């Protein structure tokens, strides 16, 4: 296993460094055994369990928590389950929690690690494009509560992340596309070449060309890592990474997390572009070009998500009600990440009357 370039790491305010590794096989970290036991805990979901057991360095001695698949698994019950399993096996402050799965598994495992014994080591082995390029990077941990996305969480960086690109070959199409949306978002925020790859390498991306996909993930991860190092606790520019997320998280909540995260974010970006145009902030040619790309990859850009109807009454009212719970808001006013053009981003307070216009 080779270490990624030194630039592909970041230092946290706590003086620790998060390091990325990549492997041409599916593998777990090597764990030491002391006095007949291994001070570690695996967390995966029902979909990644078979891969976990087949991975290099898998140890049957390590206790295992298997969650249901999907974002709904990020809840208080499962958070307690992880901590209870660690306590049952008498894991101490030197323990290591190892997440093997997508963004949901990584999020809840890292949160549990940040809380158990007031903080134990955490290693992430992300198994989706979304988790590799975005969710596992930067130390954000979270669970959902009362239908609201990521309402409880901490900033707690994993000590290392192992990127096993072969795992992506069997990724379901919906999961694959979900991750692509987050990579595209990172491109328009910080990396023009990454953005252009979605224009010029559409066919390679769709057929999952290994060289193309590994480059996409690595560029997106490096770009996000640089931002996180400058603004670990999201006091400034890290908030830009939420481009499309205020709308997207509201849609996920409204749909009870039945819509893939990336698909919701892509739709949210289209709504943020529409807001920018109404505020005469966003360049029209840029918005048109960006929307064309979103449509080419079959992401929804309609005002109402694929004309779906939900039980919560008016689609616009339901979305806005959930947007009001967003963590970026101040004084009850909705704040949105908007773009003037590629690489030109800002956060604006936006009146709900304008938001309603792009949801009907």
Q: How does pLDDT run across 320-346, given as a tens digit for each residue?
A: 999 998 888 888 899 999 999 999 999
**pLDDT of 3:** 47
CA distance 225 to 158: 13
What is the predicted pLDDT for the residue at 79? Answer: 98
CB atoms under 10 Å from CB of 313, counted, come to: 10
pLDDT (tens digit per residue) in 27-62: 999 998 876 689 999 999 999 999 999 999 999 999
Alpha helices in 99-209 (DSSP H): 103-115, 129-130, 173-190, 192-200, 202-206
- pTM for the predicted model, two decimal places: 0.88
User: Please, are residues 156 and 113 in contact by the beta-carbon 8 Å criterion?
Assistant: yes
Instruction: Please report the pLDDT score of residue 14 as a whole number.
Output: 61
Q: Where in the chain is the domain with CATH 3.40.50.1970?
A: 2-169
List, by residue range, all CATH 1.20.1090.10 domains of the chain: 174-357
Reply yes or no on domain 2-169 having CATH 3.40.50.1980. no
Q: Which residues of the chain have pLDDT under 50?
A: 1-7
Q: Please state which architecture CATH assigns to domain 174-357.
A: Up-down Bundle (1.20)
Q: For residue 243, what pLDDT is reported? A: 98
**CA–CA distance, 119 with 116 (Å, rounded to integer):** 5
């Amino acid at each position: 296993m080779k270490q990624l370039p030194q630039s592909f790491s970041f230092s946290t305010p706590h003086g620790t460094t998060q390091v990325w590794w990549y492997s041409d096989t599916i593998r777990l970290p090597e764990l030491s055994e002391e006095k007949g036991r291994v001070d570690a805990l695996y967390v995966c979901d029902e979909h990644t369990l078979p891969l976990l057991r087949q991975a290099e360095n898998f140890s049957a001695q390590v206790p295992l928590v298997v969650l249901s698949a999907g974002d709904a698994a990020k809840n208080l019950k499962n958070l307690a389950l992880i901590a209870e399993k660690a306590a049952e096996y008498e894991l101490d402050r030197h323990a290591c929690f190892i997440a093997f799965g997508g963004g949901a598994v990584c999020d809840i495992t890292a949160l549990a690690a940040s809380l158990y014994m007031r903080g134990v080591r955490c290693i992430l082995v992300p198994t989706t494009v979304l988790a590799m390029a975005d969710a596992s990077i930067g130390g954000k941990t979270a669970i959902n509560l009362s239908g609201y996305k990521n309402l409880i969480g901490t900033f707690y960086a994993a000590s290392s992340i192992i990127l096993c690109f072969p795992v992506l070959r069997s990724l379901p199409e919906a999961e694959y596309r979900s991750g692509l949306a987050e990579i595209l978002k990172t491109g328009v925020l910080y990396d023009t070449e990454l953005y252009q790859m979605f224009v010029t390498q559409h066919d390679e991306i769709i057929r999952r060309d290994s060289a193309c996909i590994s480059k996409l993930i690595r560029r997106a991860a490096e770009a996000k890592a640089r931002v996180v190092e400058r603004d670990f606790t999201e006091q400034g520019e890290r908030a830009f990474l939420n481009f499309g997320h205020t709308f997207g998280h509201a849609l996920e909540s409204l749909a009870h997390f039945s819509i893939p995260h990336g698909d919701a974010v892509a739709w949210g970006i289209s709504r943020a572009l529409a807001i920018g145009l109404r505020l005469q902030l966003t360049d029209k040619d840029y918005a048109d070009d960006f929307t064309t790309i979103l449509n080419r990859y079959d992401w929804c850009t309609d005002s109402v998500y694929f004309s779906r109807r939900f039980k919560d009454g008016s689609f616009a009212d339901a979305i806005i009600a959930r947007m009001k719970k967003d963590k970026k808001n101040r004084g009850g006013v909705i704040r949105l990440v908007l773009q003037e053009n590629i690489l030109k981003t800002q956060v604006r307070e936006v009146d709900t009357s304008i938001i309603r216009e792009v949801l009907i």
